[in-house]
Amino acid sequence: MPRKLATKPPVAAKGTTLVVERTPDETDDFALARVLLTPQARHAFTSSAYAAGFLGNESLRPELADFARAMKAEGDKAAAGDLELASRLLASQAMTLDGMFTELARRAAINMGAHLGASEKYARLALKAQSNCRATLEALARLHQPREQTVRHVHVNEGGQAVIADEFHHHSGGRVK
């Protein structure tokens, strides 16, 4: 039997009623806890709060259940091996981090002469953004490049005779096999 629970988000929102389906052997509280612990419910709530600031107009914001359904659909595709969303996310994040690096490095340069402390803080933040951009691009490259792994087994027998065996494991990037 569904239980309607009114949630109170940190920002005003339309459609913040959450419908929780409960199995006969579950209590209402357990069913609610089960749903609230799912990644799509937690992240839908967070995304909804961020969308409020992004969209500005409360009437434009989708309902919380719509966010949860969209997240579940994308999560199901990812679980089935579709890497399109992960690829788009990583590429977008890398571009954002690169933009942050550029702006912070510009601010560091502007403050170099008169405000050395501010310049140093901006430079540190710029280098952190640059490092995270590099790590994000490496993750994107690993996502799309086939991998090869070499495993070497060395067995030393009595008398000092060694047997070396190489095994090559070829993994294609992409779908889980």
* Number of C-beta neighbours around residue 171 at 10 A: 11
- Which residue blocks in the chain are alpha helix, DSSP H? 28-36, 39-55, 64-79, 84-110, 116-144
The predicted structure's pLDDT at residue 106 = 95
The predicted structure's pLDDT at residue 105 = 96
State how far the Cα of 71 lies from the Cα of 49, in Å rounded to an integer: 15
The predicted structure's pLDDT at residue 31 = 87
pLDDT (tens digit per residue) in 32-57: 888 888 888 888 888 888 887 788 76
The predicted structure's pLDDT at residue 17 = 61
The predicted structure's pLDDT at residue 172 = 57
Q: Which segments in the chain show pLDDT lower than 70?
A: 1-18, 57, 146, 149, 151, 160-177
The predicted structure's pLDDT at residue 55 = 80
State how far the Cα of 157 lies from the Cα of 48, in Å rounded to an integer: 64
State how far the Cα of 63 lies from the Cα of 56, in Å rounded to an integer: 15
Tokens of 47: 């995304």
State how far the Cα of 42 lies from the Cα of 19, in Å rounded to an integer: 14
Question: Where exactly are the structural domains of the chain?
Answer: 3-79, 84-144
The predicted structure's pLDDT at residue 9 = 37
Q: Does residue 55 contact residue 66 with C-beta atoms inside 8 Å?
A: no
